[in-house]
Amino acid sequence: MKFKISWPTGIIIAIASFVIFILSFVYKVTFLPEYDHHLVSENYYKDELNYQQEIDKQNEGAALKENISIQNTSEGIVITFPSEFDPKIITGTISFQRLSNNKIDFTLPIELSSNTLLIKDANLVKGRWDVKIDWFVNNTAYLYKEKIIY
């Protein structure tokens, strides 16, 4: 016995298959945890209002004789602060953000005894990081941002 499918039945089967295919993707990205989609910042609108202040802080850092530098080493990441400042008066925070996984983001306080700070290899996962260094010296705020590959 031969099984024949007429062309209208074939078109209906093709469209139904396509709809099921698309709905399976909608289900995956909506309900399955491995396709978690999150914002970079939970306070997106609040952060947007403070953006001009960030630009002003970045311009303060750019006006220095030397700005912060970041280097990859075998031990981790070395952050070098400008030598024109006494390291003991530099305060602030260093934030590491991973856009692909916000569960491994971390923030460290700046506590210096010399102009360099080592972020050890044990704290870092290989890949792309957004580094944001928000630091203060003598009531002047500075900001340094860089995207690094570790």
Helix (H, G, I), strand (E, B) or coil at 38: coil
Average pLDDT over residues 43-49: 75
Q: Provide the pLDDT for residue 36.
A: 66
Is it the case that residue 13 has pLDDT exceeding 90?
Answer: yes
Q: Provide the pLDDT for residue 119.
A: 87
Amino acid at residue number 66:
E
In which band, very low, low, confident or very high, does the pLDDT at 104 lie, cut at 50, 70 and 90? confident
Rounded distance between C-alpha atoms, residue 83 and residue 2, angstroms: 86
Domain ranges (residues) in the chain = 1-37, 44-149
Q: Provide the pLDDT for residue 145.
A: 92
Helix (H, G, I), strand (E, B) or coil at 129: strand
φ, ψ at 21 (rounded to 5°): -60, -50
Q: Provide the pLDDT for residue 39.
A: 60
Average pLDDT over residues 85-104: 87
Average pLDDT over residues 141-150: 90
Percent of the chain with pLDDT over 90: 33
Q: Which residue has the higher pLDDT, 36 or 85?
A: 85
Least reliable range by pLDDT among 9-23, 39-53, 57-71, 126-140: 39-53
Rounded distance between C-alpha atoms, residue 83 and residue 93, angstroms: 18
Q: Provide the pLDDT for residue 38.
A: 64
Question: In terms of CATH, what superfamily is 44-149?
Answer: Immunoglobulins (2.60.40.10)
